[in-house]
Amino acid sequence: MTSETKIESLPRPADVSRRGFVGGLSAGILAAASEPARAESLADIPDRGPGADLGAHSERSRFVKLDRIPEATPGKRNVDPSDAINSKTPHQKLVGNITPTDLHYERSHSGVPEIDPAQHRLLVHGMVQKPLVFSVEDLKRMPSVTRVVFIECTGNGWENWKKADPDLTVQNTHGLVSTNEWTGVPLKFLIDLVTKDKGSNWMLAEGGDGAGVDRSIPLTEEIVNEAFVAYGQNGEPLRPAHGFPMRLVMPGFEGNLNIKWLRRLKFGTAPWMTRWETARYTQLLASGKARQFQLRMETNSVITHPSGMMQVQPGYNRISGLAWSGHGKIAKVEISTDGAKSWKQAQLSQPVLSKAQVRFQMDWVWDGKPTKIVSRSTDERGNVQPDRQSFIAAMGTNALFHYNAQQTWSIDEAGRVRNVLA
């Protein structure tokens, strides 16, 4: 793993085999970690012996470096954390379907409040017979649901609306989606507790952050049956960045609707037209009109291995990535290794869960000639992830949010993987 610290220093064909396989991970990722000793022969493997003391927490190996990256708006990367508006998941370094808790993407509108759960309350009121106040302990005593779902910021993919900066990683392009297991109380249970008026079909959900982020949520049958107020994340209490001590989880819908630090649910008859559902999370079309209440996240996928700034070697490669849809389960993922001319179906890791990311993979033998690789997903409702051209034809380039066009990575004759529009 030592020689791949600079992507410019290309391995010669003789170097391929083992280190070539690892080469895909290089691209500056391992550069910051300490230089590991080589172990070409089993005789080089260090002797065994007693290890470190057992601790209260298990930490990552010092040989593993995994970090989110705080960023701002498209093109504003490597910003000071105080200027960041989001922090992105390093999909290029992850495997499987579940995002490690500390690497789940984050979008916060007024920082991360420090909330003492003993001093946090959820008010449920409006068009109800019995307005109630709940503590965290109240919620924990109620029947719970546990579900693996993706949460995706509507800004995911926004780097590529107008142009493709070639030097982006998949963390830059698609780091605003993650999948965790969440545990909490069904919204339906709370609705029954307060006895919502039948005439109320919209709900305002509001956070306890400095911005008091609030969104209007239509109480469709799907949302009433699937939404829940979560207090658990991957088996532990929510992390503060993700809404501790409680947040709304809205499987398949805009990340912004999954209100963090939830402190109020109010029932009414029409949307409140909050700043976030008017001025912010609406999609400006080429006509100058903006699409509003595009609440569901679309069918999407991206190849994570190999992806932007990695390097591939001729011969065998395993293509892998993630697919997800706010409509339900992913039905299939197809991969093209010839610039979208021909497609082959990838394997999906089982079981495929509704509204959760699923890992796909496919064998590929690269002939060493420049090409482009791209994935496209189809969900169980028959929605197909659009190609870039038809997507832009429909949405224009000003929408800023809800980008789900197919992601193309180009590979040059040296095996360098770069971000391109198509």
Partner 1 sequence: MSSRNKLFLAGILTAGVLSAPASAFDFGRPATPAEIKLWDIDVDPNGRGLPDGSGTVAQGRQIFASYCAACHGDNGQGGIKDRLAGGQGTLASNMPVKTVGSFWPYATTLYDYIHRAMPYPTPGLLSTDETYAVTAYILSLNGIVPADGKVDKESLPKIRMPNRDGFIPEPEFDPAKLFRRK
**Cβ closer to partner 1: 187 or 352?**
187
Task: Pick out residues in 377-416 that bind partner 1 (CB under 8 A).
Answer: 397-398
Question: Could you tell me how many residues of this chain bind partner 1 (CB under 8 A)?
Answer: 57
Q: How far is the CB of 163 from partner 1 (least distance, A)?
A: 12
Q: Which two tokens stand for residue 12?
A: 């010669």
SS3 18: helix
**Binding string, residues 114-153; x marks residues near partner 1 by CB under 8 A:** ---------xxx----xxxxxx--x--xxx----------
**Cβ closer to partner 1: 137 or 338?**
137
**Cβ closer to partner 1: 134 or 158?**
134
Q: How far is the CB of 209 from partner 1 (least distance, A)?
A: 9
Q: Which two tokens stand for residue 347?
A: 């394997």
Q: Tell me how far CA of residue 277 lies from CA of 214, 280, 282, 293, 320, in angstroms.
A: 9, 6, 6, 7, 35
**Cβ closer to partner 1: 270 or 365?**
270
Q: How far is the CB of 302 from partner 1 (least distance, A)?
A: 24
Element (H, E) at 192: helix 187-194
Burial of 45 (0-12, 13-18, 19+ CB in 10 A): exposed
Q: Which two tokens stand for residue 284?
A: 């400006």
Q: How far is the CB of 353 from partner 1 (least distance, A)?
A: 22
Q: How far is the CB of 201 from partner 1 (least distance, A)?
A: 4
Rounded to an integer, what distance in angstroms lies between the CA atom of residue 109 and that of residue 419? Answer: 28
Task: Pick out residues in 213-272 that bind partner 1 (CB under 8 A).
Answer: 214, 218, 220, 263-264, 266, 268, 270-272
**Cβ closer to partner 1: 195 or 390?**
195
**Cβ closer to partner 1: 179 or 283?**
283
Q: Which two tokens stand for residue 403?
A: 């980008």
Stretch that binds partner 1, among 38-46, 190-198, 350-358, 408-416 (CB under 8 A): 190-198
Return all residues near 394 (Cβ < 8 A) that are at least 6 apart: 386
- Compute the residue count for the chain: 422
Interface pick for partner 1 out of 35, 192, 412, 413 (rule CB under 8 A) = 192
Smallest CA-to-CA distance from 251 within 282, 228, 220, 276 is with 228
Rounded to an integer, what distance in angstroms lies between the CA atom of residue 38 and that of residue 255? Answer: 44
Interface pick for partner 1 out of 189, 232, 315, 343 (rule CB under 8 A) = 189
**DSSP code of residue 272:** -
Q: Position 415: which residue type?
A: G
**Cβ closer to partner 1: 5 or 135?**
135
Q: Which two tokens stand for residue 224?
A: 């009433």
Distance of CA 397 to the CA centre of its chain: 22
Task: Pick out residues in 8-67 that bind partner 1 (CB under 8 A).
Answer: none
**Cβ closer to partner 1: 67 or 380?**
380
Interface pick for partner 1 out of 2, 110, 146, 225 (rule CB under 8 A) = 110
Q: Are 146 and 181 in contact (CB under 8 A)?
A: yes
Q: How far is the CB of 196 from partner 1 (least distance, A)?
A: 11
Interface pick for partner 1 out of 28, 210, 235, 351 (rule CB under 8 A) = 210
What is the largest distance, in Å, between two alpha-carbon atoms of the chain? 75
Query: Does the CA dihedral 99-32-37-169 come out positive or negative?
Result: positive
203 in contact with partner 1 (CB under 8 A):
no
Smallest CA-to-CA distance from 95 within 374, 301, 357 is with 357
Stretch that binds partner 1, among 91-99, 174-182, 199-207, 412-420 (CB under 8 A): 199-207
Rounded to an integer, what distance in angstroms lies between the CA atom of residue 102 and that of residue 155? Answer: 20
282 in contact with partner 1 (CB under 8 A):
yes
Return all residues near 1 (Cβ < 8 A) that are at least 6 apart: 19, 22, 26, 30, 36
Q: How far is the CB of 323 from partner 1 (least distance, A)?
A: 22
Q: What secondary structure does DSSP assign to 131-186, as a single string?
A: -EEE-HHHHHHS--EEEEEEEE-TTTTGGGSS---TT--HHHHHTTEEEEEEEEEE
Task: Pick out residues in 284-313 that bind partner 1 (CB under 8 A).
Answer: 284-296
Q: How far is the CB of 156 from partner 1 (least distance, A)?
A: 18
**Cβ closer to partner 1: 138 or 181?**
138
**Cβ closer to partner 1: 188 or 332?**
188
Binding site for partner 1 (CB under 8 A): 109-110, 123-125, 130-135, 138, 141-143, 189, 192-193, 195, 201-202, 204, 206, 210-212, 214, 218, 220, 263-264, 266, 268, 270-275, 278-279, 282, 284-296, 397-398
